């Protein structure tokens, strides 16, 4: 067996990532990011060391880095929101619809919002967005796909019920 064969450790990494993130998609992103870091730092792996422990440490440190970055991002977003830049309100009926779309976009998880903005608004390629975000191309594609699906669900609105109503009028013994 090759001393740098990560395949036997993928399931353990994914399990640990799910414990850390408590969400399947975030766990997959975390593992992907950790594997990228491991690949980039493979030269620092000492021959004879426990590869599983080394990979788990990278995964854990990557998670901590993401948490710190997320907290810093939330603090910046909060400071920006509190600064109230004073945009001039738009006029007309479309204002309500634009505000609904804005709300749906802002309700997306930050990772999805960032990736979608870079590609849809800033017109960056997937590779360019991956470079900006410092994540693999596949992760960008996954985040944008999930964001688009969430916005499509918002656009489709609540499902229309067909068939009979769920409540029925039933006569009791005393109603004769």
Neighbours of 130 (CB within 10 A): 19
Task: Check residue 88 and give its pLDDT.
Answer: 56
**Consecutive 10-residue averages of pLDDT for the chain (176 residues):** 79 94 92 95 90 94 94 87 63 77 86 89 89 90 93 76 49 54
Reading phi first (left if > 0) and then psi (alpha if -120 to 50, else beta), residue 46 is in: beta
**Is domain 1-80 annotated with CATH 1.10.1740.10?**
yes
User: Measuring CA to CA, which residue among 154, 156, 130 is closest to residue 143?
Assistant: 130
Check if the beta carbon of residue 45 is closer than 8 Å to that of residue 51: yes
The answer to whether 53 and 166 have CB atoms below 8 angstroms apart is no
Q: What is the pLDDT of residue 3?
A: 66
At 81 the pLDDT is 73
How confident is the model at residue 145, as a pLDDT? 93
Place of tokens 């740098």: 4
Q: Is 126 helix (H, G, I), strand (E, B) or coil?
A: helix
Quote the Cα angle for 139-121-127, to 5°.
35
CATH entry 1.10.10.10 includes domain 107-157: yes
- Rounded to whole angstroms, the Cα distance separating 69 from 73 reads 6
Domain boundaries, the chain: 1-80, 107-157
Q: How far apart are CA 20 and CA 11, in angstroms?
A: 14
Tell me the percentage of the chain whose pLDDT exceeds 90.
Answer: 45
User: For residue 36, what pLDDT is reported?
Assistant: 95
Write down the pLDDT at residue 134.
87
- pTM given for the model: 0.51
- State the Cα–Cα distance between residues 16 and 61, nearest whole angstrom: 12
């Amino acid at each position: 067996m090759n001393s740098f064969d990560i395949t036997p450790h993928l399931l353990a990494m994914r399990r640990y990532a799910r414990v850390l993130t408590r969400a399947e998609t975030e766990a997959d992103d975390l593992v992907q990011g950790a594997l990228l870091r491991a690949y980039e730092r493979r030269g620092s792996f000492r021959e004879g060391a426990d590869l599983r422990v080394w990979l788990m440490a990278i995964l854990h440190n990557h998670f901590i880095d993401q948490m710190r970055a997320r907290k810093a991002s939330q603090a910046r977003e909060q400071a920006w929101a509190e600064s109230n830049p004073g945009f001039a309100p738009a006029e007309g009926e479309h204002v309500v619809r634009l505000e609904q779309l804005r709300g749906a976009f802002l309700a997306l998880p930050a990772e999805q919002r960032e990736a979608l903005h870079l590609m849809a608004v800033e017109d960056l390629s997937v590779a360019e967005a991956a470079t900006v975000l410092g994540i693999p191309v596949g992760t960008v594609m996954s985040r944008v796909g999930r964001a688009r699906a969430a916005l499509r669900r918002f656009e489709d609105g609540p499902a229309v019920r067909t068939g009979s109503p769920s409540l029925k009028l039933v006569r009791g013994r005393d109603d004769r």
